[in-house]
Amino acid sequence: MSFKNKKKILIVEPFHTGHHISLYLRNLLEEFERQNISINILTSLRTYQSEVFKEIEKDIDIENIFLLRETAEPKNQNYLNILFYEIKWWLIIKKEFLKIKKLHKFEKIYLTSVDFIHNALAIFGNPFKKTSFSTLFVSPKHHFVDENQNKRRFSKLRNFLFSRILNQKNLSKIYVIDINFYEFLQKKKIKNKHKIEYVPDFGSLNISINKQNARKNIGLSNSDFVILVYGSISSRKGLLQLVESAIKHNLDRQVKIIIAGKIEKKLFETYKNNTPKFFRENNIVERFFFHSEFQEGEVFSASDCVWLGYSKSHIGSSGVLYQSAIGNLPSISTNHGLIGRLVSENKIGILVNPDNPEEINSAINKLSEDKTLFKTFKKNCETFSKNNNLQVHMSKIIKSLLN
């Protein structure tokens, strides 16, 4: 395909894990293709070699792929270590961009997440020099810090640094998907508020198999009540809490848990050591691998509800929440943060304290037994999905990049 006469934009996406790349990057690139934009990506070697990126490359015409080296995340996650980590990333991106700039001219840059360099960006400025850029702030914690007595001492510093980001001349837009954070910012007296824009988060899910066949393929009965734990399985997903509650309350054999997605090595060891063999064989379907588009649709089709029992350290969004809504699947959700608010306000599931086994067990029983409530949740999922979709999100991003 010819890339001549196309608007040339550089996408910066360093990370290969989680649903951000498999869901967000794919949909962003597909929208770029529809808008006849030349696709250029600055990414890491691990991202480039990942199964997800290989799938993307098969389907989408990418003009240039530029590689950058990674820096290791600090083991001790204190503020200073995180700041040094961000500075390292900022320097890596700046260095690679200056190399690329000698041979290529980009009209604009889209940084798919500013989270990993936002403090360094505030201190040192735009790593892309005079090139205009827009970015997405996925998981800010300013509002959380302001409301948390133990962490309030960092509040003024965080707000000061964020105001420095907004004051940068070549920042076009900073998008936020957290309505709590957006409302928090609107109450603050800060300059350049016009650069902040709320965009609804979204999910992407393609189900091409009916429930009966999906369950047959996976080895489930039509009479089973199925709970899905999906995505990149990390400790913050609350998998251990769900399994602990299920074991403690002798979960009915007709209630099944599908665990679908790559799991952190340490988490898997803990899960394996703490979960009796008979329970794993009778109540759990283990699929600890990356799921293709068909396999993803298959596990959602086979399920009745989705587990979103994120730990209290996670106050942001979840791509799986939006996918579950597309699949009309109610959720058993954490009762805090953005996920708790969205589930509660839109009435698309039951809220629980993920550290309370009794609440988790009660929610499972309620969803599996109260058919009227279950149908209401499913109907509300459909409405929620229509109001939070790809078209609304991407149209705002593309508008900023094309103007």
Q: What is the pLDDT of residues 261-307, one digit of tens each?
A: 999 999 999 999 999 999 999 999 999 998 988 999 999 999 999 99
Q: What's the DSSP call for residue 347?
A: T
**pTM for this model (two decimals):** 0.78
Q: Would you tell me how many other CB atoms lie within 10 Å of the CB of residue 336?
A: 18
DSSP string, 279-341: HHHHHEEEE-SPPPHHHHHHHHHH-SEEEE---TT--S--HHHHHHHHTT--EEEESSHHHHH
Determine whether 83 is exposed, middle or buried from the number of CB atoms within 10 Å of its CB (0-12, 13-18, 19+). middle
Average pLDDT over residues 177-182: 87
CA 230, 235, 239, 242 dihedral sign is: negative
Residue 305 token pair: 């509800």
Distance between CA 233 and CA 264 in Å, rounded? 6
Write the pLDDT tens digit of every residue in 22-72: 678 888 898 899 888 999 999 999 889 888 888 888 989 999 999 998 888
Distance between CA 184 and CA 338 in Å, rounded? 13
- Band of residue 16 on the pLDDT scale cut at 50, 70, 90: low
Map out the domains of the chain with their CATH numbers.
7-202+389-402 (3.40.50.2000), 211-387 (3.40.50.2000)
Q: Which of 202, 200, 198, 199 is nearest to 23 (CA)?
A: 202
Write the pLDDT tens digit of every residue in 77-133: 788 899 999 999 999 999 999 999 999 999 999 999 999 999 999 999 999 989 999
Sheet with 305-308: list strands edge to edge: 284-287, 255-260, 225-230, 305-308, 331-334, 349-352
Q: Given this model, what pLDDT does residue 39 score?
A: 93
End-to-end CA distance of the chain: 25
